[in-house]
């Protein structure tokens, strides 16, 4: 029973005893009216007030109990799968430091897709930009909320329920954080390897893998599935697998780190067209990207090049297989096998990207925000690869096939030069491996 109620009840008992004529506290000189009042009204007054106070106290207790039960029903006890602000707050205080680092980081990855140190790196880099937005949530809460959505493919409605926020606000914060990742962090973490040290490391690693010299990257595209079909020109968004999508093009190095990302076309666009419309293509054809590392192979000056499958155009800086069906000469077939071995790194990189950031398996953002969300995930992928985060289960995409692109008139000189380079590399590779 409430302590204050007991005190009031005690005071009432004292008052009753004071008014009772049978007690010694009432003098013999009391008037008849006072005796009548004390003998008949006081007991009634006492029991009335006591009943009221008892009712108030019991009502208060019942309401408190109902509130506790209601809160229990509305807010179930959090568990390891709750991606909420409260869960984040619990982990981001002193509790996080009481855990061993491997356990702490494993738990953090299960919630936000990356370890605690990488998470703090992201927050520290985005915090100055988020501060300018006058966001009502702290920067680390906002980043945690967006990462949980990207890592688990959650909708804005689901995240809003777990964070006790409005779905519109969740979408707004998601758009802000992904935009910052895709713009402010992109130049720092997605770079063409033009520096001599990095270029040398990359080409040497590819040569150890494929025995082909001066390879500096592998290119591929992947459709990113959209949850809803765009209303404008819906047929253009249907990819070769039959679902609506936008097309992602990436170039990866030997560490499965992207050094170029492009999202510019609907999913129904072919790989060659998407590549020709990319900034990378225009920089390479115009000579804006200059790689100083040049080697001589059978009288041909071979600059660093990227490898792709037969869906891409053959160019001096983008070499493709001779034949998709292995119908070439022994030297050409050997070259094709090694080229595809080098290309496998970008296939694995995309599989890691979609395995780590599950929102890319079924993109549940508006079409207008789809490119920045995809690029943001690519930036986060690079951060994880640079930090050597454990690799998740790979996302398996269907085997792809497509026609070989036609040679454009503007590319004919590039094509013939690329053709001679490819043959020289094939003959040189065949001679080197045959002599071993």
Task: Supply the pTM of this predicted model.
Answer: 0.77
Q: What is the pLDDT at residue 8?
A: 46
Q: Which of 358, 346, 355, 370 is nearest to 237 (CA)?
A: 370
**If we measure between CA atoms, which residue out of 416, 410, 211 comes closest to residue 314?**
416
Contact yes or no for 229/237 (Cβ under 8 A): yes
Read off the pLDDT band of 99 (50, 70, 90): low
Q: Please, which pLDDT band fits residue 52 given cuts at 50, 70 and 90? A: very low
Task: Please tell me the number of Cα atoms within 13 Å of 54 on its side-chain side.
Answer: 9
Task: Judge contact between 343 and 307, C-beta under 8 A.
Answer: yes
Q: Which residues pair with 265 in a beta bridge?
A: 247
pLDDT at 384 over 70: yes
Dist. CA 354–CA 114, nearest whole Å: 14
Res. 345: pLDDT tops 50: yes
Determine what percent of the chain is predicted with pLDDT higher than 90: 58
- Per the prediction, the chain carries an average pLDDT of 81
Tokens representing residue 67 in the block: 């509130």
Give mean pLDDT, residues 414-435: 93
Write out pLDDT tens, residues 1-24. 444 444 444 444 444 444 444 444
Q: Is-contact 282 290, C-beta < 8 A?
A: no
Q: What band does 324 get if pLDDT is binned at 50, 70 and 90?
A: confident
Q: Where are the chain's structural domains?
A: 1-16+42-60, 92-184, 191-434
At 325 the pLDDT is 78
Q: Which of 163-167, 215-219, 422-426 has the lowest mean pLDDT?
A: 163-167
Residue range 233-257, pLDDT digits in tens: 999 999 988 999 999 999 999 999 9
pLDDT at 291: 81
Cα angle, residue 64 at apex, residues 61 and 66 outer, rounded to 5°: 110
The answer to whether residue 63 scores a pLDDT higher than 90 is no
Lowest mean pLDDT among 11-25, 268-282, 295-309, 413-427: 11-25
Strand, helix or coil at 159? helix
Distance CA 401, CA 310 (A): 9
Q: How many CA atoms lie within 13 A of 340 on its CB side?
A: 15
Does residue 366 register a pLDDT over 60? yes
Task: Give the SS3 label for residue 30.
Answer: coil
- Estimate to the nearest angstrom the gap between the alpha carbon of 142 and the chain centroid: 12
Q: Which residues pair with 220 in a beta bridge?
A: 250
Residue owning tokens 């115009």 = 286
Predicted confidence at residue 288, as pLDDT, reads 86
Torsion from C-alpha of 178, 179, 180, 185, nearest 10 degrees:
80
pLDDT tens profile 251-287: 999 999 999 999 989 999 999 999 999 999 999 999 8
Nearest one of 166, 333, 189, 187 to 253, comparing CA atoms = 189
Across 374-401, average pLDDT: 89
Report residue 400's pLDDT band, with 50, 70 and 90 as the boundaries.
low
Alpha carbon separation from 366 to 315, 363, 436 (Å, rounded): 36, 9, 56
Strands 305-307 and 318-319: parallel
Give residue-wise pLDDT tens across range 112-149. 999 989 999 999 999 999 988 888 778 888 999 999 99
What confidence score (pLDDT) does residue 97 get?
52
The model's confidence at residue 102, banded by pLDDT at 50, 70 and 90, is confident
pLDDT band at 424 (very low <50, low <70, confident <90, very high): very high
């Amino acid at each position: 029973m409430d302590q204050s109620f007991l005190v009031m009840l005690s005071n009432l008992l004292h008052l009753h005893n004071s008014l009772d004529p049978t007690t010694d506290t009432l003098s013999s000189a009391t008037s008849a009216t006072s005796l009548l009042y004390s003998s008949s009204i006081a007991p009634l007054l006492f029991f009335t007030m006591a009943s009221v106070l008892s009712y108030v106290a019991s009502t208060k207790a019942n309401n408190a109990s109902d509130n506790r039960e209601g809160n229990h029903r509305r807010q179930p006890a959090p568990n390891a799968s709750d991606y909420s602000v409260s869960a984040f707050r619990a982990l981001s205080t002193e509790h996080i430091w009481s855990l061993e680092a491997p356990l702490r980081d494993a738990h953090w990855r299960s919630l936000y897709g990356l370890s605690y140190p990488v998470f703090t790196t992201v927050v520290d880099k985005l915090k100055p930009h988020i501060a300018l937005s006058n966001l009502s949530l702290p920067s680390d809460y906002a980043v945690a909320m967006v990462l949980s959505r990207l890592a688990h493919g959650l909708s804005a409605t689901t995240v809003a329920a777990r964070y006790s926020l409005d779905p519109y606000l969740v979408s707004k914060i998601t758009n802000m954080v992904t935009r910052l990742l895709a713009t402010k962090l992109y130049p720092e973490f997605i770079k063409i390897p033009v520096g001599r040290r990095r270029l040398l490391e990359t080409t040497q690693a590819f040569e150890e893998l494929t025995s082909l010299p001066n390879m500096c990257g592998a290119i591929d595209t992947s459709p990113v599935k959209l949850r809803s079909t765009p209303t404008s020109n819906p047929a253009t968004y249907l990819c070769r697998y039959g679902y609506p999508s936008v097309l992602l093009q990436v170039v990866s190095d030997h560490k499965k780190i992207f050094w170029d990302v492009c999202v510019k076309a609907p999913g129904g666009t072919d790989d060659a067209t998407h590549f020709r419309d990319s900034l990378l293509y225009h920089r390479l054809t115009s000579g804006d990207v200059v790689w100083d590392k040049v080697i001589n192979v059978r009288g041909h000056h071979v600059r660093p090049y990227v490898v792709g499958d037969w869906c891409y155009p053959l160019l001096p800086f983008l070499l493709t297989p001779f034949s998709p069906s292995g119908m070439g000469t022994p030297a050409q077939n050997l070259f094709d096998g090694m080229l595809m071995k080098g290309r496998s790194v970008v296939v694995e990189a995309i599989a890691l990207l979609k395995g780590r950031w599950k929102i890319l398996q079924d993109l549940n953002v508006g079409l207008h925000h789809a490119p920045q969300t995809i690029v943001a995930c690519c930036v986060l992928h690079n951060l994880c690869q640079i930090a050597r985060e454990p690799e998740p289960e790979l996302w398996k995409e269907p085997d792809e096939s497509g026609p070989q692109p036609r040679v454009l008139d503007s590319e004919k000189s590039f094509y013939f030069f690329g053709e001679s380079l490819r043959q020289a590399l094939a003959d040189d590779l065949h001679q080197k491996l045959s002599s071993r």
